[in-house]
Amino acid sequence: GETISVPDFKNIKTEELNTFVSEKKLQYQIIDSIFDPKAKKGVVIKQDPEKDSQVKENRIIYLTISAKQPPLVKMPKLVDVSLRQALAVIESYGLKAGKKEYKPDACVNCVLEQRIKGKPIEPGKMIPKGSTIDLVLGQGENGGQISIPCLIGLTKKDALQKLSENGMSEGTIICTDCKTTADKTKAKVYKQTPSCSSNDALPGSTIDLYFGIKLPSSYKTNDEN
């Protein structure tokens, strides 16, 4: 009926686990491996039961360790789809969207090439999850223009996503009264340059954004404009 206290396994290297439990009258079993770019590689990151739990002798402690290498995923086919579709697929595969380059083409914001570190990457090739995918996109014939999206009333996260989906990127970003990280999350766009009422712009253009918590009296949402 006697119990022992479970020690803290976290941050113990996998090759040191046998030594660690040798005199503790416990057993361990690795049940999962997770890649976390912020964690040390090859160490325990989770245990069950938790440390200081009371268990009987020879109890198995189930461990999750940090993988030394990210898992591999198949490179999806992005060529010939729209930028909006490509970004959704990239996210669903656990990849990251990188740089956007534009070339004259009849189809505006259609993917012409997919690259990793400047080199073309074929669909179906196994690549590390979390890889950054750069896209070459159609700019339209003779430098065709696209409509500037209205971002007024959006948070920074939503505004940047909408810019990306429309083939544009952020320029200068100013939050007039943000003092904390929470403020930056809650702040909304009250001004953009160029405005959504101005002339169309070339794909790849930048938009300056102005955010605030206490919005100016002249502020109007897109629904009110």
- What was the pLDDT predicted at 92? 94
- What was the pLDDT predicted at 37? 79
3-state SS class at 48? strand
- Distance between CA 4 and CA 26 in Å, rounded? 9
3-state SS class at 185? helix
Q: What is the pLDDT of residues 188-225, one digit of tens each?
A: 999 988 888 666 776 667 889 999 987 766 555 554 54
**Alpha helices (runs of H) in the chain, residue ranges in sequence order:** 17-21, 83-92, 156-165, 181-186
47 φ/ψ angles, rounded to the nearest 5 degrees:
-140, 150
Higher per-residue confidence, 77 vs 169:
77
Question: Within 10 A of 126 (CB to CB), how many other CB atoms are there?
Answer: 9
Q: What is the pLDDT of residues 7-55, one digit of tens each?
A: 999 999 999 999 999 888 899 999 999 888 788 899 999 999 999 999 9
3-state secondary structure 102-160: EECCCCCCEEEEEEECCEECCCCCEEECCCEEEEEEECCCCCCCECCCCCCCCEHHHHH
Contact 123, 95 (CB under 8 A): no
Identity at 27, one-letter amino acid code:
Q
According to DSSP, the residues that pair with 192 across neighbouring strands are 209
pTM over 0.85: no
168 pLDDT more than 70: yes
